[in-house]
């Protein structure tokens, strides 16, 4: 620079052009969903998805090749994995409203010491407050919601939850982003799934958006419990239990909806290798016509014995099989995905279908939608079996296996112990594995690095 003027050589102009081009490419990739939305709007009406409770029905895109010239083609939107709206039964009564929420803050002596981030274990520590919403049919339905200090529940010994497992829960997280903002991830999906489970369990349904707003207020009150790091988050556990103090297998006329918060670190230890799975065909997690697709506690308690057996056999998690053909259903408490090479050399991603045997996971649904949007390989919801896994492995066409869920996000699978044989899975041997790309994309959305309608900003 001389005399206040800038002089550029040919070399400098080249460097400047490269700099601008790199930033343009970075901007396009970070904002591709916005560009897609704009293209769709210009091409005709489209139902856009919203991160604040609206039905997730955004049209997806794929790229077709025509004389080596790419063009954008519209494909049908993916259906939600469960009803996003549910009509309340007439006898449920009044619904609770966020506007009626009252807050009773903890006294100084009731505040808990905050653990160091490095000491966080899953579900070990809890914040200072909780949310409670009682339900009594004889009093007209849902009562007013209240945020209170974290406290024990006072329940009658005959409460139905203790005897007939009339209860359900959800698993969510709050993330503190790089910008300091706190975000939830697709909370309307958890509310819809929770209501479907409540209906199946004979418990009262509720307005999901009202609970989201009440939980957001709870998170704000205990906001300093949201870890200031991208390696941890605040786990949110909304729970609905039947509390009517009567014996007899019947729906509960009284219930309690409550939410507790727990700061958590990684579900699996950092630096750990891929999971080794224990696949024992004699154990079954769920069956047709049951409640394997609902998030009820009775799906989890009976699995503890099998998980202990897996640990004794040197495995991390149980790979749940079903049927005489040994279909893969879930891995531990996660959904499972398989990336493989078809006989024609094309890649395909498979995950078991929603046939009642598996939980319709929010992370599962997000992975399916992202991969459809990328359009780089086919994605199918289809059953696959252990004999097929063995065949693909022997032919060198088994590329990746990974589990997916809210707690662990995405976990690569390295080996399966099945009927006396160890099957190696090369999930982590690739330079750019799919599971890592999915993990990075999802966490970038959750922590605010990638702007996306799935992120629900709490303010």
The b-or-e profile of 133-162 (16+ CB within 10 A means b, else e) is bbbbbeeebbbebbbeebeeeeeeeebbbb
Predicted local confidence at residue 88, as pLDDT: 95
CB proximity list for 323: less than 8 A, separation 6 or greater: none
Residue 8 clears pLDDT 50, i.e. is over it: no
Confidence (pTM)? 0.82
Which tokens sit at 390? Answer: 């063995």
> Is residue 411 pLDDT above 70, yes or no?
yes
Tell me, rounded to whole angstroms, the distance of Cα 79 from its chain centroid: 17
The lowest-confidence range among 29-33, 108-112, 193-197, 309-313 is 29-33
Cα separation, 122 vs 234, in Å, equals 10
What is the predicted pLDDT for the residue at 23? 54
Per-residue pLDDT tens over the stretch 107-154: 999 999 999 988 888 889 999 999 999 999 999 999 999 999 999 999
pLDDT one-digit tens code per residue, 39-96 = 433 444 333 333 343 333 333 333 333 344 333 334 456 888 888 888 999 999 999 9
Only one residue has tokens 């409770």, namely 53
Query: Going by CATH, does the domain composed of 275-447 fall within 3.20.10.10?
Result: yes
What percentage of the chain exceeds 90 in pLDDT? Answer: 76
Q: Report residue 267's pLDDT band, with 50, 70 and 90 as the boundaries.
A: confident
Burial (CB < 10 A; 0-12, 13-18, 19+), residue 2, is exposed
Cα separation, 100 vs 214, whole angstroms: 10
The rounded distance, in Å, linking the Cα atoms of 22 and 379 is 31
pLDDT band at 316 (very low <50, low <70, confident <90, very high): very high
The domain at 98-266 falls in which architecture? Answer: 2-Layer Sandwich (3.30)
- The angle at the Cα of 268, spanning 264 to 270, to the nearest 5 degrees, equals 95
Domain boundaries, the chain: 98-266, 275-447
Q: Measured between alpha carbons, how far is 295 from 394 in angstroms, rounded to an integer?
A: 36
Q: Are 261 and 212 in contact (CB under 8 A)?
A: no
């Amino acid at each position: 620079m001389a005399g206040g003027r800038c002089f550029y050589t040919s070399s400098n102009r080249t460097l400047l052009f490269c700099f601008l081009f790199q930033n343009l490419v970075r901007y396009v990739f970070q904002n591709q969903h916005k560009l897609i939305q704009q293209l769709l709007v210009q091409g005709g009406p489209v139902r856009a998805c919203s991160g604040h409770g609206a039905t997730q029905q955004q049209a997806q895109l794929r790229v077709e090749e025509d004389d080596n010239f790419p063009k954008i083609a519209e494909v049908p939107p993916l259906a939600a994995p469960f009803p996003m709206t549910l009509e309340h039964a007439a006898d449920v009564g009044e619904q609770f409203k966020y506007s009626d929420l009252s807050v009773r803050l903890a006294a100084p002596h009731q505040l808990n010491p905050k653990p160091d981030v490095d000491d966080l274990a899953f579900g070990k520590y809890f914040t200072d407050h909780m949310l409670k919403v009682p339900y009594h049919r004889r009093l007209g339905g849902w009562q007013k919601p209240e945020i209170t200090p974290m406290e024990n529940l006072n329940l009658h010994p005959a409460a139905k939850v203790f005897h007939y497992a009339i209860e359900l829960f959800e698993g969510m997280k709050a993330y503190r982003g790089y910008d300091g903002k706190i975000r939830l991830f697709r909370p309307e999906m958890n509310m819809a799934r929770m209501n479907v489970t409540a209906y199946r369990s004979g418990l009262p349904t509720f307005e999901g958006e009202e609970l989201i707003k009440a939980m957001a207020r709870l998170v704000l009150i205990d906001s300093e419990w949201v870890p200031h790091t991208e390696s941890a988050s605040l786990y949110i556990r909304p729970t609905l239990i039947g509390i009517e103090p009567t014996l007899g297998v019947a729906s509960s006329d009284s219930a309690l909806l409550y939410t507790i918060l727990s700061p958590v670190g990684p579900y699996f230890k950092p630096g750990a290798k891929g999971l080794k799975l224990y696949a024992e065909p004699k154990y079954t997690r769920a069956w047709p016509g049951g409640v394997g697709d609902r998030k009820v506690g009775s799906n989890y308690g009976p699995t503890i014995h099998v998980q202990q057996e897996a640990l004794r056999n040197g495995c991390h998690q149980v790979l749940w099989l079903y049927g005489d053909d040994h279909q893969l259903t879930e891995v531990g408490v996660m959904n499972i995905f398989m990336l493989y090479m078809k006989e024609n050399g094309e890649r395909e991603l498979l995950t078991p279908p929603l046939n009642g045997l598996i939980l319709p996971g929010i992370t599962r649904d997000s992975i399916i939608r992202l991969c459809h949007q990328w359009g780089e390989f086919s994605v199918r919801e289809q059953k696959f079996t252990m004999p097929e896994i063995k065949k693909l492995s022997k032919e060198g066409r088994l590329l990746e296996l990974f589990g997916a869920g809210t707690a662990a996000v995405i976990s690569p699978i390295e080996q399966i112990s099945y009927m006396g044989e160890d099957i190696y899975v090369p999930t982590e041997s690739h330079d750019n594995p799919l599971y890592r790309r999915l993990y990075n994309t999802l966490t970038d959305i959750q922590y605010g690095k990638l702007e996306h309608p799935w992120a629900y900003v709490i303010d």
